[in-house]
Structures are given as structure tokens and as C-alpha cells.
Amino acid sequence: MWPHHDGSALHVSDLAPDVGGRVTVFLRAPTDVRGVVVRYTPDGEPAYVEAAMDTRPVGGAEPWRSAERWWRADLPVRNPVTSYRFLVTAGSGRQYWVNALGPAEHDVPDAYDFRLVAHDPPPAWAGDAVLYEIFPDRFARSAAAASRQPPDWAIPCTWETPVIGRGPETPRQWYGGDLDGITEHLDHVGSLGVNTVYLTPVFPARSNHRYDAASFDTIDPLLGGVDALARLTAGLRSRGMRLLGDITTNHCGDAHPWFTAALAGDAGERELFYFLDGADYESWLGVSTLPKLNWGSPEVRRRFTAGPDSVMARWLEYFDGWRVDVANMTGRCRADDHTHEVARLLRAAAVAARKDALVVAEHGHDFTGDLDRDGWQGTMNYAGFTRPVWSWLRAAELDLPDFLGAPGGVPERSGGQAVAAMRAFGGLVSWRSLTHSWTMLGSHDTARIRTIVGDAARVEVAVGLLMTYPGTPMVFAGDELGLTGSTGEGSRTPMPWRRRSTWDRRTLADYRRLIALRQDHPALRDGGLRWVYVGDDALAFLRENREETLLVFARRASGDPVALRGVPTAPGAARNSALAAGENLYGGADLSALDGTLLLPGDGPTFQVWRL
């Protein structure tokens, strides 16, 4: 095995250090390694600290086994972000670097260095969160919904009306789901084992998705208003659950009073937007109903972030934080680039109003340059999780026009290609940002995972990865029932509460069991990650903390059994008797061992987890 380090508590003594403090970092290395030096860059200039072989217990357990030794070094935290990597000297005298991509026998750039982050950490509760996303118009209707008149923009639909997945009618289909309808179905939500609900926008708007806010000052009466939000919050908190909202900071709707006043010629309000020649203006991707906010304006900043009545603060009586829509574009327009400053302002405003608030950014592609900057506490990890999983598990017959925006459909990729993508994106951010970013198999903006992979067996493998890979897993409502959809809009299918015979009971059971597995084993939430096998059709990795080592095995198709030799275990597992004593926690397959080699099953698709 090669040397290994990640940013988890098994390898880093303090995950939330302060500037001016010191942190001990640990490297696990084969016994033939004779020297380790840590390179870090205080104030931007390289410095070196010699590591010592560790002989002290870690968490009360013996810190090394016969196949590995642990090396340790103390690093000063001089800057808000401290990057570091290891220079390893083998017994033969050969030297190589170890960074977040693994070993390299050539000089490497600093971009893939490990990172210690001294900015304020995300709230403690976020590390244990399992999210459930709800699109309010399509989740459930309460009895009160029947008395509400459809708005003038709407195409009224019954709960059984087919969803229009493309075209101008898509945002106008109105099914009438409301917040009390969600409250009435919290028993179902709770039965999954999730502990946090994320709602797409709930402010008044002129569409079913409500990303075109007509006000930030109230909750849409079509959803039941503020009183219904209060009932939903109370219902969740009585179950020990939390609630996240969705805020648009890049734009508002063209019916918002700020914008209508600007169109009418109010000079002060015009400064909130980007007006061009005449009445023309910048908007989100050229969609005229979504005028872009100008974060160079002090007044935009004041309205969103100043004081308890600001947009970010005032609703945190009900919400535990925000998902920030189009965060990657917020503050960016032509020559303007205020994004990192705006992210800091928005996070600070939320935390000032609610100390344990979470602020997570929507980002559909390369998010790595926008994290670890005292702003967003995580992102939606489409690039480093959703896309690799889709491309590895996609069905043989799949006809989609694009791959999450990229033309040409979803490519079929090997396990090695999928893992390379995961490591490429994960290696460019801190462990803290990675583990607080949302992992997803889909959302209200994408095709459904059942459509992507084609059958329940591969859905199980996908959900298994969702619940065992580092990150905060998010489930889009209806995925647990096997709902399908080939576009984001087409996936916003009303929940089939009255057609329970259509529910995929196997998939529902798989979601419940895999969420329970994550909740029952802290190593799946706070443990490190170590890949031990990457093949075309099968992947295996370890999740390990001081108390346990879990071996995760995912296979998309049948093949030869996989032989693993010299699998390392965490310090706490060193007290276990033998590798042959691996206990199956999920999937039911036996773990056989012979002369120190583990034999993993060849049947597939399958998802298995063992405690070593």
C-alpha cells in the first residue's frame, strides 16, 4: 500500500483550528519508509518540518500495525488556509510527494495540497445531516389548497396531470402543493431516517418553481403563508429535524417591487440591477423574468445582509440555514467579480442571526475556486459526485440530450474514470468543505436516478455510494419511490400518495436501510476515505475512524471476484482478531479471507459493507 493521509480526524488533530495555533498531522506509510518531511507554505513561502515516527496511542488505540507506521508532525497555523503535503523517502532512497491526489514521483503544484482551514467552521449538526429535498408545488396538497384560486400566470392541474418537461408551459403548471401538505406527510419523511428537509423557494412568485421571487418579505399565500411555515417548522422540530430554505441572491423576479420601481425610472432602484441601453438589462442566462442583482451596489448589500430584518436574517426563525441559488454567478457580471466578498457577507449575516446557521452554495460545475474562503460552507457536489456516479452506473440504453448541461448525453465511463473525477474535484478543497458539500443522485434540476441507471439493482448501488461517500447526502423527494424523469422539469412529478401500488417497495426499503446504516455508523459520517480497489466494474474503499474500519464494495456488473491484499485498518480495528472476522453490515455477502487476502464477491450489481 502507498502512504495515506486525508483531512479526517484520524489524520488531523484539530479540524477547526485557530490562526496562531498548532495542528498535528499524521501520515500512514509502509514500514520501508525511512523518512517523512511535511512541506507547508506560511505567508506563501515554502517551509519544511521533519516528521517523527509516532509511538504514542491515538484515541487510546495502538497507532500502528505491522504493515504500516504512523508519522506525525506539528504545523503552525499562521494563515486562514494552510496548505501542506508530504515528502516521503523510501528505504531505497527514492523520494516522492504525497498530496490529495496520492503519490507522485515528480514535482507537483500546490493546488492539490491538503488544507487546514481556520475560518469559522460549519455548524456541528451539519456533519450528521441527511437531507430530503422537497419541491413544494409537487409534494402534497392540504385540504386548504382546494379553496385557493389559481393565480393569473398558472395553468391549473390536477394531481394526476402529466408534467410537461419542456417548453413555455413548464413553469406555469400549478398543482397546488402547499406547506401544510408537507407537514401532513412528515411521518413518511421521518420514516426514511433523514433529519433535515430542504425546501426550494417559498416566496411569492409568478412560476411554480418560485426562483423568480416577487418579494422576500413574506411567504407565498399559495403555500399557506407564514403560519403554514411556522407549523411545518414546529412539526419538524418536534421530530428532532431541521429545515433549510432556498434563497436567490443572483436575481429576483421581474414582478419584484425593486425591479418594477427600477423599470418605472426610480434612479435609486435602478442601481440594484444592471441596466444597459434603454430598458434593456442583464438577467440570468438572458431570461428576462430573472433580472440580475448588482452586488456592487451598497443598497443590495444592505437589504440582503444588514441587520435582523435583512433578507438573509429575517427568516432564520423558521429555517436553519440557506441553500444559495446560482451562487456561482452571484456577484459576477462582466468585469465585476464580487463573489467571494458576497459569500462572506451572506454567511456572516446568516450566522449573526442564527449562530448555527448553514449556508451552502448551488454550483453545477467546478466549485473548487469558491470554497475555503470564509464564505460558502459547502456546495452542491454535482461535479465530484453526481456526474461520476451517473457515468459509471448509467443504463446501457439511455437517451438524454445532455449530461447535466454538457451536450452529447451521459457517457459510459469505467470505475477508474469515475474515481479520477471524484479525486480531481475532492482534492482541490479541504476535507471540511468536501464533507459539508451535498452529494446527490439528482435534484429538481436533473433527470431522476431511476431513469439514469435503469433498474432497482443499480439504484441500490447508487444509493449505497450516496450514503457511504464523504459528503452530506441529499435525497430528492420521490427518488425513494422509484419515480422517473428525463429532465429537471420532467422530474418534478407530484408524489403519488394515492397510487401506492406504483411505489417501488424494494427501492424504498433500500433507501431506509442505507440511511439507517449511515446513521448507525459514525465512520460513514466522520471517517476518512481510502480507496483500496478501482476496476472497470467494481470499486472498494475504506471509511475509518478511531473506533471502526468499514469496507465498502460497489459493483455495477458481475465479474471475477476481487482479491484485496494487505488491507490496512484503523487503529481501533487493530484490536480485532483477524480480517476473516469481517462482519457484513449491508448486502449479506460473506467476506472470505486466505493468507491475508480478502476475496470480494463477483456477483453484480451489488452493494456490500463490512466491518473489519
Q: Give the pLDDT confidence of 73-107 residue by residue, as tens digits.
A: 999 999 999 999 999 999 899 999 999 999 999 99
Confidence of residue 574 (pLDDT cuts 50, 70, 90): very low
- Beta bridge pairs of residue 321: 358
For residue 11, the Cα-to-chain-centroid distance in whole angstroms is 22
Confidence of residue 277 (pLDDT cuts 50, 70, 90): confident
Q: Are 325 and 307 in contact (CB under 8 A)?
A: no
pLDDT digits (tens, 9 = 90+) for 227-270: 999 999 999 999 999 999 999 999 999 999 999 999 999 999 99
**Average pLDDT score over the chain:** 95
pLDDT at 603 over 50: yes
Closest CA to 430 of 81, 120, 74, 124: 81
Report the C-alpha dihedral over residues 515, 521, 524, 528, rounded to 10 degrees.
Answer: 180
User: HSE-up of 353 (CA within 13 Å, CB side)?
Assistant: 27
DSSP 80: S
Confidence of residue 568 (pLDDT cuts 50, 70, 90): low
Q: Are 198 and 474 in contact (CB under 8 A)?
A: yes
Query: Helix or strand or coil: residue 403?
Result: strand
What is the mean pLDDT of the segment spanning 206-215?
98
Beta carbons within 8 Å of 133's beta carbon, 6+ residues apart: 197, 198, 199, 200, 443, 444, 474, 475, 476, 477
pLDDT in the model for residue 592: 85
The number of residues making up the chain comes to 612
Q: Are 422 and 384 in contact (CB under 8 A)?
A: yes
Domains of the chain from N-terminus onward:
22-117 (2.60.40.10), 131-433 (3.20.20.80), 528-611 (2.60.40.1180)
Count Cβ neighbours within 10 Å for each residue of 243-282 and write b for 16 or more, e otherwise: bbbbbbbbbbbbbbebbeebeeeeeebbbbbbbeeeeebb
pLDDT in the model for residue 371: 98
Look-up of cell digits 497507532: 63
pLDDT at 492 over 90: yes
pLDDT digits (tens, 9 = 90+) for 119-141: 999 999 999 999 999 999 999 99
Closest CA to 279 of 258, 293, 265: 265
What is the mean pLDDT of the segment spanning 36-56?
94
Closest CA to 465 of 507, 421, 506, 518: 518
Pairing of strands 81-90, 114-117: antiparallel
Backbone angles phi, psi at 387, to 5 degrees: -65, -45
From its phi and psi, is residue 48 left (phi > 0), alpha (psi between -120 and 50) or beta? beta
The DSSP result for 14-70, as a single string, is: -SS--TT-EEEEEEEEETTEEEEEEEE-GGGS-EEEE-EE--S-BTTB-S--TTEEE
pLDDT in the model for residue 64: 42
Cα 479 to Cα 44: distance, rounded to the nearest angstrom: 46
Confidence of residue 534 (pLDDT cuts 50, 70, 90): very high
pLDDT digits (tens, 9 = 90+) for 27-41: 999 999 999 999 999
Q: Computed over its alpha carbons, how large is the radius of gyration of the chain?
A: 25
3-state SS of 476-505 is ECCHHHCCCCCCCHHHCCCCCCCCHHHCCH
pLDDT at 579 over 90: no
pLDDT at 337 over 50: yes
